[in-house]
Amino acid sequence: MLNATLPTDTRHCAVSALRCIAAEAGDPLAKLFENDGATAHFRANDEIFAEEEAADAVYRVTEGVARICKFTEDGRRQIGEFHFSGDVFGLEYGSHRSVCAEAVTDCRVSIVGRAQLLAKARRDGELANALWRSSCDALHRMHEQLFLLGRANAADRVLAFFHMTAERLNSRGVVEIPMSRQDIADHLGLNIETVSRTITQLRGEGAIRLEGARRVCLDTHDRLYA
């Protein structure tokens, strides 16, 4: 669904709509992006920004999914996080990118200048607060992620990933997973074969059901996943 060509009008999917309501209710970050942001489109797997390049812009996902990653010279990849509709990403304290960003699905993002954002934040306490909140949320998710990578086995990682994705997409029950097995593997610190095998195993245990490779039915309140 998100992989399909984007609609040409400005309607949003259910999740985006929820975020927009929040924005109308006064989220200054959302407002800033909607008023001053330039819109850009990226096709699936396009690079949004690269590691080491100047970090002079900040992004907000309008539609689709983006990933933040780091590479080694031998091609290994770690996906630090995925960003969904309404998420702000690409704001760094340093002047150059320490990570790169890519489109997971076709997606649409809103872009504002970093200097502009920071200058506004310095004058506007509410905006700075929202900025800080966004980092805080990310930090919170990172702690969960660290826990997964450090202490959980493959089954727990995959199951937790499905549940977290369901939550972030506001779709409890049945989730349309927007990312490939390779993306999941690189996010969970596993390899693609292990992810696939683990999904098969979870299916055998009845923890999940599949409707095609990308559509997962979750057995809610099943087992701990954090």
Sign of the CA dihedral running 41, 46, 50, 53? negative
Cα separation, 195 vs 88, whole angstroms:
28
What tokens appear for 113 in the block?
A: 């200048």
What tokens appear for 174 in the block?
A: 């049945």
What tokens appear for 51 in the block?
A: 């590691």
Q: Applying CB under 8 A, does 1 fall inside the site for its own copies?
A: no
What tokens appear for 222 in the block?
A: 């099943």
Of 40-79, binders to its own copies (CB under 8 A) are 68, 70, 72, 76-78
Number of residues this chain uses to bind its own copies (CB under 8 A): 43
What tokens appear for 147 in the block?
A: 């826990």
Q: Applying CB under 8 A, does 118 fall inside the site for its own copies?
A: yes
Among positions 26, 147, 209, 213, the unique one binding its own copies when judged by CB under 8 A: 147
Residues binding DNA (CB under 7 A) = 153-155, 180-182, 189-197, 199-200, 210, 212-214
Binding marks (x or -) toward its own copies, 86..105, rule CB under 8 A? -----xxxx---xx------
Nearer to DNA by C-beta: 98 or 182?
Answer: 182
CA distances from 213 to 12, 86, 176, 200 (A): 25, 26, 9, 11
Among positions 4, 139, 204, 206, the unique one binding its own copies when judged by CB under 8 A: 139
Nearer to DNA by C-beta: 3 or 98?
Answer: 3
Cα separation, 183 vs 192, whole angstroms:
8
Nearer to DNA by C-beta: 80 or 189?
Answer: 189
